[in-house]
A and B are shown apart, each in its own frame.
Chain A
Amino acid sequence: MVSLDASELTTRELNTRIKELATNGTEKITITNPAARHNIAVGILTECELEIDGSVGYYVATLLDGPRITINGNAGWALGENMMSGSISLSKSAGASVAASMRGGDMFVGGNAGARAGIGMKGGTLLIGGDSGFLTGFMMQKGRIIVVGDVGDAAGDSMYEGTIFCGGEIGSLGADSKIEESTEDELIEIWNLLEERGISERPHFKKIVSQKTLYHYDEQERHERPLI
């Protein structure tokens, strides 16, 4: 295990060291004193285990492919943006746009998440232990968002595919989204995930999916009709 003190390194130095250690196969990397710094652990494309001990700023643990990251604290905007694979576990709350455009892997937010959680998600699972803000799952394409608590207004607005599960109240649905009944298999799978994360609640999750009414323009121009 290698420990890096963020207070003694610039962000560039810190990320360079993390990438070097990850590439060299270091078993575990710990970062202390992050002091809400932005852009820590960006662009790591190898498997490794990383623990950040404290709260972090924007864009932490982003553009990743492989690492398993634990953060003991809160996070600013865009935690885990565009993660391809691996996992992120945040003990407290996340700001806006958590898991934005995430393409794979697993993300867990122990507390609440801000607006636009899972915006443009393209794969993977985002599990939020508390509530999430407005426009959760906005223009979501694939993947699964599980919110144990309440989901804010305009949930699932303009989503293409993917699923949002809400254990509490839904503020309102966004354009072209609808509520469906969760299947028993889906509920059992989610409850197992909650068990793994030490969450004792077992809500009967409501499922938000796309109505698919915005999939196509209704009419084609005359010259397009025989073509499309």
Chain B
Amino acid sequence: MVLGSNQIWSPWTVEDIHAKADLGRYRIRGMSTHQKVTHFDDLTFLSTGLTRFPLEGYKEQCNTSVSLGGLNAENPLELDTPIYITGMSWGALSANAKTALGKAASMAGTASCTGDGGMLPAEREASDKLIYQVLPSRYGLNPNHMATAQAIEIVVGQGAKPGTGGLLMGVKVQDDVAISRDLPVGVDQRSPARHPDWLGPDDLAIKIEQLREATNWKVPIHVKLGACRVSDDVKLAAKAGADAIVIDSMVAGTGASAEILLDHSGIPTVPAIVLAREALRQIGLYGKVSLIASGGIRSGADVAKALALGADACAIGVAALLALNCNRDIPEANFEEEIGLPAGQCNRCHTGKCPVGIATQDPSLMKRLDPDEGAERVANFLNSMTMELALLTRSLGKGDVKSLEPEDLAALTIEASAMAQIPLVGTNKVFGS
């Protein structure tokens, strides 16, 4: 036996200790957790047989549209598909990437979202439905921009790094990004973890009313939570008056985070949805307050399972960036030389040297991403996911994605059964119930 086969002192652990011994601080990287956790792959659909009949998978109509946040808002967020693009900052991402995401969302009849750096005017122009985030940092927050939004999202926490603020290394805090954020050029930006003007749920209720007044009660107010103490947090956010709650799990992505937070905080998406659903049910607001799931959504199957578990919609981040060309070996790039890792293994968004022009502010790298071509790829991906979702829904004999429900699912592992509160395949047993 050699050291590399040792469970405790794995090659990764050895490398990690060597790196920290050099560094003298925690490590930083992008992407998402490396932990192995229960995910949607641990659930399977129980499609039709003799107990129910399917709809024609490629022909019969299946409604994929959703309306989010209609509890108090005059104009709920109406989407053609229950998949939208999550908040990712202009700064973490290039202007070309943000513009492409906004345009792709419009092409697919869905929404995009700003992020921790204010609104990029080009994204506003490209995105028919823009969700405007209000984060603890308030970087670039402008009430004139807010007034043009189709929804407002108060960010309490982020799944990849709950309990902390954003992180943007100085290499990306340049030119317009620094100006927009009112930060010194080149500073390693560590965003606040707490909002400057409210602390607890009682304050949040007043904050939500403030944002309603600022937007004349027209648009929904979302509250985004990092999935940790889900049951209590969801109840408190709903009671504070949120129209929609975004629950962002530990497998969600980021452009930069302390690695220790990525791997050692939060809970996975599957139990986060179930806990949020039950929390809303317990206070009589399930079906009234919209529930949006994010974190590790990769395909129409993941969306279908999230909806079956109780979500009304899903938000995607990493998947949209992959569609945009993240980690793709494009002709203009040389991953090994430029970032030190092969295409397909890169998680160095924080370095600002993204070889495909997405997670960078370097004008020469940004040129590698054409916003129009990128938008087409992301729109194709969104449409593919929506088709997959509809296909699965029809196979379950349903003509509307909103009809997906927990009994459409079975769990492939005991852990998934316990976390999803779904019977284990081959048994009638729900573990942990």
Contact residues of A with B, CB < 8 Å?
11-12, 15-16, 19, 38-39, 42-43, 45, 57-59, 62-65, 77-78, 81-82, 84, 97, 100-101, 103, 116, 119-120, 122-123, 138-139, 141-142, 160-161, 214-219, 221-224, 227-228
Binds A, one of B100-108, B135-143, B294-302, B411-419: B135-143
Is B431 engaged at the interface, CB distance under 8 Å to the other chain? no
Given contacts A42-B214, A43-B143, 7 further A-B contacts (CB under 8 A): A43-B213, A59-B209, A82-B141, A97-B197, A100-B196, A119-B197, A122-B182
Q: Looking at the assembled complex, report how far the CB atom of A210 sits from the nearest CB atom of chain B, in whole angstroms.
A: 9
On whether A59 and B196 interact (CB within 8 A), knowing A65-B143, A228-B171, the answer reads: no
- A139 with B187: CB separation less than 8 A: no
Residues from chain A with a CB closer than 8 A to the CB of B212 are 12
Q: Are A43 and B214 in contact (CB under 8 A)?
A: yes
Contact A216 B187 (CB under 8 A): yes
B79: min CB distance to chain A, Å? 25
The interface residues of chain A lying within 8 Å CB-to-CB of B192 are: 120, 139
Q: Are B217 and A218 in contact (CB under 8 A)?
A: no
Chain B nearest CB: distance from A182 CB in Å? 21
CB within 8 A of B196: which of A16, A43, A97, A161?
Answer: A97
Q: Establish whether residues B197 and A77, one from each chain, have CB atoms under 8 Å apart when the complex forms.
A: yes
Sample (18) of A-B pairs whose CB atoms are under 8 Å apart: A39-B206, A43-B143, A43-B147, A58-B210, A59-B206, A64-B143, A65-B143, A77-B197, A81-B196, A84-B142, A97-B197, A122-B138, A160-B183, A214-B190, A215-B170, A221-B27, A222-B19, A227-B352
In the assembled complex, the CB of A43 is this many whole angstroms from the nearest CB of chain B, namely 3
Q: A119 and B188: CB pair below 8 A?
A: no
Q: Which residue of B lies closest to A142 (CB)?
A: B182
B23 at the interface (CB under 8 A from A): yes
B203 at the interface (CB under 8 A from A): yes
Say whether B25 faces chain A, with CB atoms less than 8 Å apart: yes
Question: Which residue of the partner chain, among B141, B214, B216, contacts A16 with CB atoms under 8 Å?
Answer: B216
* Contact assessment for B182 and A123 in the assembled complex, using a CB-CB cutoff below 8 Å: yes
Q: Which residues of B contact A63 (CB under 8 A)?
A: 143, 146, 210, 214
Q: Which residues of B contact A (CB under 8 A)?
A: 19, 22-25, 27-28, 137-138, 141-144, 146-147, 169-171, 181-184, 186-188, 190, 192, 196-198, 203, 206-207, 209-210, 212-217, 339-340, 348, 351-353
Q: Do residues B187 and A215 form an inter-chain contact, with CB atoms below 8 A?
A: yes
A123 to B142, CA, bound (A): 13
Measured between beta carbons, the chain B residues less than 8 angstroms from A42 are 210, 213-214
- B187's nearest neighbour on chain A, judged by CB, is A215
Contact B25 A217 (CB under 8 A): yes
- Cβ of B231 to closest chain A Cβ, rounded Å: 27
Measured between beta carbons, the chain B residues less than 8 angstroms from A224 are 348, 351
Chain A residues contacting B147 (CB-CB under 8 Å) are: 43, 45
Task: For B27, list chain A residues within 8 Å (CB).
Answer: 221
Q: Are B209 and A38 in contact (CB under 8 A)?
A: yes
Shortest 6 CB-CB contacts between residues of A and residues of B = A43-B214, A78-B197, A101-B138, A100-B196, A122-B182, A63-B143
**Would A58 and B206 count as touching, CB distance under 8 A?**
yes
Rounded to whole angstroms, the CA-CA distance of A20 and B168 in the bound complex is 41
Cβ contacts under 8 Å, A123 to chain B = 182
Question: What is the bound-complex CA distance between A198 and B105, given in angstroms?
Answer: 55
B111 to chain A, nearest CB (A): 22
Contacts of A161 in B (CB 8 A): 184
Q: Could you tell me the distance between the alpha carbons of A198 and B56 in the complex, rounded to whole angstroms?
A: 79
Note all chain A residues with C-beta closer than 8 A to B351: 224, 227-228
A59→B171 contact, CB < 8 A: no
Q: Nearest Cβ in chain A — how far from B297, in angstroms?
A: 29
B23, A120: Cβ atoms closer than 8 Å: no
**A215 with B210: CB separation less than 8 A:** no
Q: Which residues of A contact B24 (CB under 8 A)?
A: 218-219
Query: B19 touches which one: A103, A142, A221 (CB < 8 A)?
Result: A221
Question: Contact at B348–A12, with CB atoms within 8 Å?
Answer: no
Tell me whether A58 and B182 are in contact in the complex, defined as CB-CB below 8 angstroms, given that A101-B196, A215-B188 are known contacts. no
Which residue of chain A has the shortest Cβ distance to B339 in the bound complex?
Answer: A227
Q: Do B197 and A81 touch (CB < 8 A)? A: yes
B137, closest chain A residue (CB): A120
Whether B213 pairs with A120 at a CB distance below 8 angstroms is no
- On chain A, the residues within 8 Å of B339 by CB distance are 227
Question: Within the complex, what minimum Cβ distance (angstroms) separates B22 from chain A?
Answer: 6
A221 touches B171 (CB 8 A): no
| Known contacts A218-B24, A221-B23, A103 near B196 by CB under 8 Å | no
Q: A97–B181 Cα gap in the complex (Å)?
A: 20
* A218 B182 Cβ-Cβ under 8 A: no
Could you tell me if B138 and A84 are in contact, using CB atoms closer than 8 angstroms? Answer: no
B205 CB, nearest partner CB in chain A, Å? 10
Determine the chain A residues whose CB is within 8 A of the CB of B19 once the complex forms: 221-222
- Given A81-B197, A119-B196, A218-B25, A223-B340 contact (CB < 8 Å): yes
| Chain B residues closer than 8 Å to A43, beta-carbon distance | 143, 146-147, 213-216
Chain A residues in 8 Å Cβ range of B206: 38-39, 57-59
How many angstroms between the C-alpha atoms of A82 and B146 in the bound complex? 12
Q: What residues of B have a CB within 8 angstroms of the CB of A45 in the complex?
A: 143-144, 147
A100 to B192, alpha carbons, bound, how many Å?
A: 13
Q: A63-B214, A119-B196 are in contact. Are A160 and B143 (CB under 8 A)?
A: no
Q: How far is the CB of B149 from chain A (nearest CB, A)?
A: 12
Q: List the B side residues contacting A84 at CB < 8 Å.
A: 142-144
Q: Flag if A101 contacts B141 (CB, 8 Å).
A: yes
* Alpha-carbon gap, A62 to B213, bound state (A): 10
CA distance A81 to B146 in the complex (A): 14
A213 CB, min distance to chain B CBs, angstroms: 12
Measured in the bound complex, the distance between the Cα atoms of B196 and A74 in whole Å is 20
